[in-house]
Amino acid sequence: MKLGKQRWVVRSTIVAACAAWLYYWPLFHIIPLKQADKESAAKGASFEPVAFVEGFWEGQLLPGQTRAVDAADLIAAISKDRNAAQRTYGRKVGLSSAYFYFISGTGRVVEIDKHSIGLAISESATDAEVLLETGPIFGNAVRDATGLLDVNNFATSQDFNAVSSEINRRIEADVLPKLREQATVGKTVRFLGCVQIIDEDTDLLPLRAVPIVGEVL
Amino acid sequence: MSLAIALSGCNSDNTTSTGSAETASGKKKIAVIVSTLNNPWFVVLAESAKEHAMRLGYNAVVFDSQNDPANETAHFDNVIASGYSAVLFNPTDADGSVANVRRAKQAGIPVFCMDREINATDAAVSQILSDNYSGCVAIGQCFVKEVGESGEYVELLGLVGDNNTRNRSDGFHSVVDRYPHLKMVAQQSADFDRAKALDAMETILQANPDIKAVFCGNDAMAMGAYQALLAAGKNGQVKIFGFDGADDVVDLIKEGKIVATGMQFPKLMAQTAAEYADKYLNGEQDLQQKVPVAVELVHQGNAEEYVTVDQEDSE
């Protein structure tokens, strides 16, 4: 009789342990279908760079032009002390010796070649001080120069890179054709653009800018 | 002047130990879990991480996952059970490694990714990553300049599950695909492996004898492609482009036998990861999730500056 009671206690303990185990670590979860659909959609959701850039362009990039340094001020600062100019106006991304400038201003067209339009910024200048690139546009100058986009806000680096490609595509489609068509030597161009400095010996004068805005006045 | 010059003082001469953690008196332990030690590039990465962790006052042990996610999981089990304070981590798989990082996080062990990304931004404390995309944009531009705007070419890809493979290819194609007369006649994975690249290139050459160039996702594959082209007598006809900045490739760039590569900085990534771990363990919480590390274009005009600067081989 005593042995039977002991067996009953052991069995009860095992059942209780199993119940506790299954409570905390169930073999399956039951969730509402709607929730399952949502989770599944979220997991499979892919990043849409075109839609993202559409919103970014109007919502952040164009309004963000107040962040840009005036090209005339930057050129003066660089000619005085390029290291100080970089510290004051430049932007670095991660660990890199390259850096970026986000610039705006107006300039007089002094030269036009296959892939760029040269602008003199100061009235006395005869050579190009800023070269507006007129395509094709490569790299991450616009994505990285403004400080408006941060890799940490994107799920993967591939998404972040896709933003760059789409920004460049959009510039080529929406900004460059009109600029190339209307710019002639002697005309004035208002611009907003991004510059990447990789080699200070060649990239500081003239500044090569990818135009976000390029308006012939 | 460049990251290369900034790093010229770095070196890596300590040995790599493997196995379970030592129980040193008073010192915290840091685990360096690396995807493979079968490739010298990763040996440099792992040894540099270990060396910098030790300089910062930790005991450090290297675990080799041998490119096998199961080994990586076992290493994380070991690290979690053995009381390590942090993990400096080079993942085997962008998706597959996320679960390991999450388990470590749940166990209170911060993880810092080096070189390779994981596809989660809420698991590792920080990810110190080569900017492969930008590096390959620069290589793509160099490619068009050197090869011209028309002709047939080949691409050798790295490991398909690695985000670096995709980012390198995407960066390259973001440039080259803009030139419709540049035609990619073959694109094949050779797993970042020199021997596989040699085999792949030999096969591709038989079907495509008129190619003008080959872009390789790392320098080991560039060396394999070079060997195949040399054996076929086509090394003068086909321009080779690599990625990583391995010594043997930089030497061949100087000799004009390979056109260009992208210089990566594994020691800088390892050092930064170790420093971030130290900062975190000392209470600094405000660390960036992702830190891109620049990749610099190496070509015949500047190859002299990059000889034995930062690494011994390629990823």
**Per-residue pLDDT for chain B (315 aa), expressed as one digit of tens each?**
445 434 433 333 333 343 444 455 579 999 999 999 988 889 999 999 999 999 999 999 999 999 899 999 999 999 999 999 999 999 999 999 999 999 999 999 999 999 999 999 999 999 999 999 999 999 999 999 999 999 999 999 998 878 889 999 999 999 999 999 999 999 999 998 999 999 999 999 999 999 999 999 999 999 999 999 999 999 999 999 999 998 899 999 999 999 999 999 999 999 999 999 999 999 999 999 999 999 999 999 999 988 765 544 445
pLDDT band at A40 (very low <50, low <70, confident <90, very high): very low
Tell me which residue has tokens 């963000």: A64
Check B119 against A94: CB less than 8 A apart: no
Out of A94, A138, A156, closest to residue B131 by CB: A94
Contact B294 A95 (CB under 8 A): yes
B140 contacts A151? CB cut-off 8 A: no
CB contacts, 8 Å: A139 with chain B: 134, 137-138
Q: Which residues of B touch A168 (CB under 8 A)?
A: 174
Chain B CB contacts of A155 below 8 Å: 119-121
- Neighbouring CB atoms inside 10 A of B187's CB total 14
Judged against a pLDDT cut of 90, whether residue A8 lies above it is answered with no
Q: Which residue of A has its CA nearest to B291?
A: A94
Our CA angle for A69, A75, A78, nearest 5°, is: 105
Using pLDDT thresholds of 50, 70 and 90, give the confidence band for residue A42: very low
How many Cβ pairs closer than 8 A exist between chain A and B?
A: 78
| Beta-carbon separation of A96 and B294 below 8 A | yes
Q: What whole-number distance in Å separates Cα of residue B137 and Cα of residue B169? A: 9
Q: Chain B closest CA to A93's CA: distance in Å? A: 7
- Looking at the complex, does the CB of residue B2 fall below 8 Å from at least one CB of chain A? yes
Q: Tell me the C-alpha distance between A138 and B32, whole Å.
A: 37
pLDDT band, residue A43 (cuts 50/70/90)? very low
User: Distance (Å) from the C-alpha of residue B306 to the closest C-alpha of chain A?
Assistant: 15
Contact state of B2 with A155 under an 8 Å Cβ cutoff? no
Distance CA B269, CA B264 (A): 9
Is B305 in the A-facing interface, judged by CB distances under 8 Å? no
Q: Å from A25 to nearest chain B CA?
A: 16
In chain A, whose CA is at the least distance from the CA of B271?
A: A95
CB-facing half-sphere around the CA of B236: CA atoms within 13 A: 1
Contacts of A157 in chain B (CB under 8 A): 117, 129, 132-133, 163, 167, 290, 292
**Cβ partners under 8 Å of residue B218, min gap 6:** B158, B192, B242, B243, B244, B314, B315
Question: Amino acid identity, residue A164?
Answer: S
**A96 and B117: CB-CB below 8 Å?**
no
Q: Is the peptide bond before B110 cis (omega within 30 degrees of 0)?
A: no
Q: Which of B2, B128, B163 sits opposite A97 (nearest CB)?
A: B2
Q: Residue A136: closest CA among chain B residues belongs to which residue? A: B178
B293 to chain A: closest CA residue: A95
Lowest mean pLDDT among A34-48, A200-214, B132-146, B275-289: A34-48
Rounded Cα distance, B155 and B190, in Å:
10
Whether B3 and A96 lie within 8 Å, measured CB to CB: yes
B309 to chain A, closest Cα gap in Å: 15
Is the CB of residue B288 less than 8 Å away from at least one CB of chain A? yes
How far is C-alpha B211 from the chain's CA centre? 27
Task: Name the interface residues of A facing B (CB cutoff 8 Å).
Answer: 93-98, 136, 138-140, 151-152, 155-158, 161-162, 164-165, 168
Q: Which residues of A fall within a CB distance of 8 Å from B121?
A: 152, 155
Contact B268, B251 (CB under 8 A): no
